[in-house]
Each structure stands twice: as C-alpha cells, then as structure tokens.
Chain A
Amino acid sequence: MSKFLKIATLAVATTAFAGSALAEKYGLGRPALPAEIAAWDQDILPDGTGLPDGSGDAIVGEEIFATQCAACHGDFAEGIGNWPKLAGGADTLDREDPLKTVGSYWPHLSTAFDYIRRSMPYGNAGTLSDEDTYAILAYILYSNDLIEDDFVLSKDTFFDVEMPNANGFIIDDRAETEYSRWSSGDPCMKDCKEDVKVTMRAMVLDVTPKEEGASEELEQAAEVLSQEDSAPEPAPASKEEEPIAAEPAFDAALAKSGEKVFKKCKACHQVGDSAKSRAGPILNGIVGHPAGAVEDFRYSKAMKAAAGEGLIWTEEELAAFLAKPKKYMKGTKMSFPGLKKEKDQKAIIEYLKSFAD
C-alpha cells in the first residue's frame, strides 16, 4: 500500500495545484432516475452491500445448475473442456499448475454472487432471479465442500461461509520486491555472461498456429464485410426442376445469413470437418436425421427419451425446437432461450444443411 499512498499524495498535490476547486460545468447530460440506477447499479461489495433479499440452498441449486450451468461447467461444477472449473483445487495454490476455483481461490463470496447474477448463464446473461442466484451459489459452495446441503444462503447467512483463500492476497509489491533487483545502476553492456546456451525451443512443443491460407482468411473477411453492408435478403428459392428425392433444395444465400445467426449457437455447438462436441453436440448432418444420435455426447434424459421415440429432426421439428427449446422439450440441457424470428430459424436450418454427416 505504501507505494500507492505516495502516488496518491502526489496526485492530490497536483490536483490542488490545478486549482479546480470550483470545477466548470457544462450543463450536459440529465439526472439519472432512481429506476435507471437500480437497473444498472447491481454491484455487490465485499461487505455485502447490495445483496438482495431471497435465499437458496444446494438442493434447489443443483437442479437449477443442471439446466442453466452444467452444459459448460459440468454437473458437479468440475468444468467441461476449456470451460471454467468452479469446484476443487483446495491446497493447490502453491503447487505447479494450481487449480483456481470459487472454492480454492476467490477471496470474496460477494464476487461470485455479483458475477453469476450479472453475467451468467453464458449467452443468456442477466436472466437469473435473486433466488436462483442464491441457490446456484449454494450449490457451487456445496460442491467445494464449504457448506452442507441444508445450508440456506441469504444475505443473513452470507458471512457464515468462510472463503478459504480470503487472506491469500497481497497488494502489488513490485516496487519493493522487484524494481531494485534489476534496475539499480547501469545495465551491463559487455561480457555480461560467459556462455550462452539454448535451453528451450518453442518448435519442440509445436503448438503455434499454422499460417497457410492467410490471404483466404482476409478475402473471407472482406466478403463478410460486404455481406453485412447489404442486408442479407434471402434469395428466391432456386426452383430446380426435379429435386432429387429426399435431398432438400439448398438456398446458399439463406445459409449465408444463417451462418451469422449461428454465432449465437457457437458457444456450445460446432460444425464442419474438425467439429467436436462441446457443451452441445456436433451438428453436422443434423437436418433430416434422428435426434440424440451423436456418439459420446451426454444428452439430457428428455432428449434420450425423444430419440427413443424416433424423433427425426425434420426442418419443421427443428424450427419448433429452435423457437422455444424449453417449451418444445421440457428438460433439455440446451439453455438457449430460443429464436423468435422465423426468418432466423429458417436461416440456421439452411446453414446446418450445408454440413453433411
């Protein structure tokens, strides 16, 4: 803190010198209304300021977590793929590759409540109620063995929870611990060391992205740009004389606009040659094919049941699902709220058609 205080004093001195005791006002802007401040000023301070009424426990939280969070964070908050792990890692901070989770690393519980309520679920932020937020947070704490499953989390019990790493932080001390070590005196210019050997080579790891096709990327970027300028109007469906049996007619322009809409899905779904199932299954060849059929993907019970009953993702079924996923299939793991516009549903389906099995 000492270095910081010094800067502070200096800044205050400068300010006083600038002599802005009566700062000039321009009369711009308008007063913020209480309702507006309430809508945006949601932050929760470490001392609990800002915590809303409401409560929740891990038992309720587990159910909400399963539908709202598990797609990325795993059923047990263990994290899927590169998505954040929220539990575990106790006593790993001084080891190689520490596991930093809400339980092992976060110093303040307020931060977790604040972040979950404002920024989660990913892709559908700001939709959790205060009750849901308390319950989800209780489940995360329970997953970290920090509370029992009957512990009711609320603003009254908030500080009964001990955060294991609450005292694990120090304020930036580089000025004291680092600067004098290598910044005193003149730097060495000659005979600074006897021998120099290569001790490690990046090439051995071979994790650098390849640069082939770089110019293609730019062309594509230019294409997308020009595409965005002219609002993508779906071209009239090409009327091939006799479309081959079950092969649906393909509308390239519509697919192109679907690619844009698909950005909403990309957090969880991949398509294309190198696609992998992540929070959601691969969607190659989905249109016209049976539901719940991607191997190794852990579908919801609801999706498995639908697959068992022989659900086929025809364009109509897919559109209905995409419109309101949770209404179409109660219990689906897909946390996406749905595509209201029929145009968007059609565009995405057309885009998905371009990825064969």
Chain B
Amino acid sequence: MSENKSRTGTTRRSFLQGAAAVGVGAVSASAAKAQAADPLITEVQPWAQGFGDGVDETPYGLPIQYEGDVIRRNVEWLTADTVSSINFTPIHALDGTITPQGCAFERHHSGAIELKKEDYRLMVNGLVDTPLVFSYADLERFPRENHVYFCECAANSGMEWAGAQLNGAQFTHGMIHNMEYTGVPLRTLLEEAGFDTSGDVSGKWVYVEGADASSNGRSIPMEKALDDVLVAFKANGEALRKEHGYPVRLVVPGWEGNMWVKWIRRIEVLDSPVESREETSKYTDTLEDGTSRKWTWAMDAKSVVTSPSPQSPITHGKGPLVITGLAWSGRGAITRVDVSRDGGKSWETARLGKPGEKMALTRFYLDVDWDGSEMMLQSRAIDDTGYIQPTKTQLREVRGLNSIYHNNSIQTWLVRSNGEAENVEVS
C-alpha cells in the first residue's frame, strides 16, 4: 500500500466507525467493508434544513454541549475543602498551547473572591521614596506589554512522586496553564514609587501579597522582580477570571505558581525575605536526610504526552496516529522533545508545533504508523540551557522519597493494543 492510499483508506474507515458509534478500542485493520451509502450524506439532516441559534443566543459563549467533558476536575480526597484546594486543566483534551481561561486550573487558599475594579487598590511601600497607592484605572495608564507564559503549580505531579497514582494526564500534569498576559512590568511601578532600579539591588526583595483572606504572600528577589515580572490584568485578551485573580494578578515567568499572587494588593520593598508561611512551611522540599530546600522557585524543564493518554485512548485502531504533548521550562525555551515508544529504550525526536518560546508551553507531535502493538510512551524535554528532563529514578536518587514539589520527571503511559492507556512506572 502506498502511503497515500493508506491515509485515504484510514480516514474513510474511521469516519464510518464514528458514524456507527463503534466504541473505544475498535480495530480497523480489516479491509474496507462493503459500504452502504452514508445517510448523513444522502439524507437531508435537520441542521441542513432549518435554523440554528440566532446571534445573541449566548452573549458570552460556552463550549458546545458535545465538549462537555473538557472541564477542570478536582481530586476530592486531596484537600479538606474546595476553598483551599486545586483542580486540574483538561490538558488531555486540548491542543495548541494557549489554555482557555474557562478550563485553566484553579488554586485557592481561601476561595475565589469577587473584587470589583472600583474597589481595587494596589499599594507599593517599603524601601521606596514615595509609597504609592494605585487604582485599577491608574494601572491601565502605564505602558503595557504582552507575553505568553505558563503558570505551573510547584505541586504539579506531586502525587506521582512516591509512585504512579492518578490515571490521567489531567490529574498527573494538569496543574498548569499557558496564557497571553497583558500587564505593566513590576519594574515600572517600582520606579514610579522612586525605587532606584539602576543602583545595586542585590540583597533587596519585594514581598507581594494578595487581597483575599488567605493573604498569600511571597518574597521575590529584586533581580527577578526587575527582570520580567508583570502586574497583569488581562489574559488571552480578556479580563482575568475571578478564579485567576480578577482584576489584577502577578505573573512571575517560569517560577512556581504560588508566587503568581492573585488579587495582588501590596508590593513591599525590603532588604530581607519575609519567610512567610508559603515560603517556609509550604513550597519547600524535604530531602532524604530531613533537611529541606527553600527558594526552589524555578520550574525545571518538563514534558508529558497528552494524547494518547488514559483519558484520551486510541479509538481508531492501527495506522496513522498522532502522538502529541506539551513541554516547558521555567529556565528558558524548549529546544527539543524526544519521544520513546518502548519505555525509554530508544527515542525519536518529535516535531515542535512551533519553535519553543521562553517560559511558555511548547506543543510537540510525533506522527507514526501504529502497528497496534503495546507501547510504553514517554517524552523527554530539553531546554536552551541544555537541561535534559530526568527520570523519576534520577530525581529520587538526589531527593529521596519525601519531596513533594518540583517533580519534573519523565511520565510513562502504557498503551495497550486495544488503544487504552494507563499510568505506570517502569524500570
């Protein structure tokens, strides 16, 4: 069979199977069946006859009902209550790199608050010439920038640290989203308050704090604060969602999501870190000997195959198969992603959807002709610092078993010949 013929044949077969509602795991190896004409084509369908919805049916649209399973999901047993909890982006069902706000994971410490723009205040105080208060309207008058960045919770894949636990890319890797932010560089606001950014800033810190009841606060070294931190008020072109910090959140490119303070209300310049709850008792990494790493801010390079995966099995049988996934690095741009189909024995370099961008998600594809045999799918990201995504064994050799945050190890999906996939660990 020429490659061309094979491609056409498979398309027709899978379409017919879809029409006949053939379920998961259907094998389409057999030759094309004797075909009856497709009534979807030969008969006039209701949608081709009458009207659809008029404009204004949904002044702000939600996805069509058939996409109802592409939603954030929570793992209830993880936390005591949803007001201090996390849910997961359905990365298994998305493509490209931009995460729609409506299904981008949420993490709250005391619930998503409703704060009006009119009631919003941002204070800059501490070691500045003039402590200032900005209104929301003030922020919109500063020169602003657009940048695409991923935001990953330090605990993403944390439940997988001790062993394969959750069956789905959404749950193992879904504490991440990637949006285009519009905002004012933090540097601009510090300069407005008279902080001298041209002097020696080493040893200086900013403490950033949210307006919600948890008053989540983190200390950020001044070098980072002046480098690329944004005070953002738009994501993907529209206002931030309530659950992502409306009206204003901090964007700290490449660094753990907890530092991306939502509903940000105060920025204080200090000459030492505050050592707040979130940077001492949480978001620190305990090693085997009982000592703990602190200030582990950067998210190291990581990747995952999003499809096929447990929630996104292969339903079309043998033949052309698109293996796809996401890669990212908090220390730079992704330059290469390798995919293994045999659990890490051999690797093939995948195609990047477009060249990797700094601290943003990169989509990769490996287009294969699947022979229907079992696969142990893995992906391995490499960034422009030369960092190569490690295996879980390599990470454990350094960190032991009690570390929770910053698990950026290689993930394995065991894909069976019926197309179903499951989360496994391999030797």
Contacts and interface: CB of A to CB of B under 8 A. Distances in A.
B5 interface: no
A8 interface: yes
Contact of A207 (B77, B291, B292, B388): B77
B197 A187 contact: no
9 contacts: A11-B224, A105-B281, A119-B110, A178-B390, A190-B346, A201-B424, A205-B164, A207-B77, A218-B62
B125 A37 contact: yes
A191 B345 CA distance: 5
Contact of A215 (B65, B130, B311, B425): B65
Contacts of A98: 286, 290, 402
Given A45-B275, A114-B274, A200-B164, 9 more contacts: A8-B201, A28-B134, A43-B209, A98-B402, A111-B280, A177-B398, A192-B346, A217-B68, A218-B71
Interface string B195-235: 01110111000010100011101000101101100000000
Contacts, number: 307
Interface stretch (A151-159, A168-176, A245-253): A168-176
Interface stretch (A13-21, A61-69, A136-144): A13-21
Interface string B120-147: 0001111000111111001001100000
Interface of B: 62-63, 65, 68-69, 71, 73-77, 79-84, 110-111, 123-126, 130-135, 138, 141-142, 163-168, 171, 191-194, 196-198, 200-202, 207, 209, 213-215, 217, 221, 223-224, 226-227, 265-266, 268, 270, 272, 274-277, 280-281, 284, 286, 288-298, 300, 310-311, 338, 342-348, 376, 380, 382, 385-388, 390-391, 394-395, 397-398, 401-402, 414, 422-427
Interface string A1-24: 000110111011011100111011
A31 B427 CA distance: 61
Given A94-B290, A125-B214, A205-B165, A266 B81 contact: yes
A70 to B, nearest CB: 15
Give the 7 A-B CB pairs with smallest separation, nearest first.
A215-B68, A94-B290, A196-B343, A82-B80, A93-B290, A23-B191, A202-B423
A326 interface: no
Contacts of B343: 196
Interface class of chain A by DSSP: loop
A177 B84 CA distance: 33
Given A32-B133, A107-B275, A187-B382, A170 B75 contact: no
Contacts of A97: 402
Range class of the A interface residue count: 35 or more
Interface string A41-53: 1011111000000
Contacts of B74: 209
A14 B378 CA distance: 39
B139 to A, nearest CB: 8
B371 to A, nearest CB: 18
B202 A12 contact: yes
A209 B171 contact: yes
Given A43-B276, A208-B168, A266-B82, A28 B131 contact: no
Given A20-B191, A170-B292, A5 B426 contact: no
Interface string A196-232: 1111111101011101001111110110010000000
Nearest to A32: B131
Interface of A: 4-5, 7-9, 11-12, 14-16, 19-21, 23-26, 28-32, 36-37, 40-41, 43-47, 72, 81-83, 93-94, 96-98, 100, 102, 105-108, 110-112, 114-115, 118-119, 122-123, 125-126, 168-174, 177-179, 181-183, 187-203, 205, 207-209, 211, 214-219, 221-222, 225, 263, 266-267, 278
B262 to A, nearest CB: 15
Contact of A43 (B196, B268, B295, B397): B268
B166 A208 contact: yes
